[in-house]
Structure formats: structure tokens, C-alpha cells
Amino acid sequence: MSDEDVALRVRALESLLLEKGLVEAPAIDEIIDLFENRLGPQNGARVVARAWSDPDFKARLLENATDAIVEMGYEAVQGEDMVVVENTPKVQNLVVCTLCSCFPWATLGLPPVWYKSAPYRSRAASDPRGVLAEFGTEIAADAEVRVWDSNAELRYMVLPERPADTNGMSEDELMALVTRDSMIGVTKALAP
């Protein structure tokens, strides 16, 4: 299906929902604003950049991620109970929801399509090193891979390693290096 076909179908659905009085137009604007501007990986990237810059915040984030994230103002549905796990040269963490598509909306927004796909959900659990290799992520031979299956009520986010040669960078500059995928744990943060 082309993008035009999808757009047409979405418009038809929107018209029907409005005409039948199931949804009010301002609600649709609000949903778009919510997921385009307010809930998304830019929130998680700011959390990560702050953790890289502020050791006290990082300690709080790893100890009680829910409170530390709320402290930054990111309080929303699918972020009620958060756990943040830290990548190091010896540990690569990877998040999956094998049962469905659970994802920390407050900090990462809606999950990418591949995250919800059956191949990712099964292989991230059974062959995480194979999945990491397909994402182009190299793991040291002596490193440990930890998979986090967010099957229950907690939502997980990875604190990626701070890239080399980033000393002296501001939080805003660091944020640009933090991708959604690096906070799922399938890639590293970008090099500056």
C-alpha cells in the first residue's frame, strides 16, 4: 500500500469517527500533538544526556528510575513503573516484550514496527547476539548480554554507554547522540 493509500484510508476513518460522534476533532489534534511532540525518544535522550553529565542524577536513575524520570517532568501512561539498566564495556542490555509490544511511552514514545514483530520478539530472547550483529552492533568477546523481557508491569529503558571523545559536550549536544534504538539496547549511542 502506498503512502497516499494509507493517508486516504486514515482520512476515511477519521471522517467516520467524527461523523458518528465517537471522537471529537480536538481529541485527534491532542493525540497527534501527544505522540509527535510530547511523548517520544527525545524525552529518553534528555534523561540519558543528564545521566551522562550528572553522576548524582545517574545514581538516582539507576536506583529508582520512576522517580528520577518524573523529576525531569516525564510523567505519563506506560511509564508508571520504570527500570533503567546501564550498559558498560562488559554488559550489553537489550529490551524486548516477548508477549506483545510493551514499551516505555513516556520516555521513548510508541514502539517501532520491528519491535512489535514476531521475529524480533522471539530472536531477541533466544539469540540476542545474532540480533545485535544484524543491527551492526559489535559486542566485546568477554562481554555479557542481558535480555530484559518486559512481559509484566514494569517498563525498561537502557542507559547506553557515553561515547568516547565527548568530554566537555553540553547536555543538548549529548542528546543528539542518543537514539531510540540505543535506549532499546540494539545499538550503541552515536559517535560525535
Chain center to CA of 162 = 17
- CB nearer to another protein: pick between 120 and 148: 148
Residue list 36-95, contact with another protein (CB under 8 A): 38-39, 70, 75-81, 83
Q: Which residues contact 182 (CB under 8 A, 6 or more apart)?
A: 158, 160, 188, 189, 190
Closest contact distance (angstroms) between CB of 29 and another protein is 8
Candidates 62, 72, 110, 147: give the one binding another protein (CB under 8 A): 147
Rounded to the nearest 10°, the torsion over CA 169, 35, 108, 49 is: 10
Q: Which of 15, 100, 122, 126 is catalytic?
A: 100
Spatial contact of 140 and 89, defined as CB atoms under 8 Å apart: yes
Instruction: Label residue 145 exposed, middle or buried (CB < 10 Å: 0-12, 13-18, 19+).
Output: middle
Q: What's the CA gap between 128 and 143, in Å, rounded?
A: 13
- CB nearer to another protein: pick between 34 and 137: 34
2 is catalytic: no
97 is catalytic: yes
- CB nearer to another protein: pick between 68 and 174: 68
Candidates 63, 126, 190, 192: give the one binding another protein (CB under 8 A): 126
Is residue 164 part of the contact set for another protein (CB under 8 A)? no
| Closest C-alpha among 119, 77, 76, 80 to residue 96 | 119
Interacting residues with another protein (CB under 8 A): 21-24, 26-27, 29-31, 34, 38-39, 70, 75-81, 83, 98-99, 106, 125-126, 128-129, 142-154
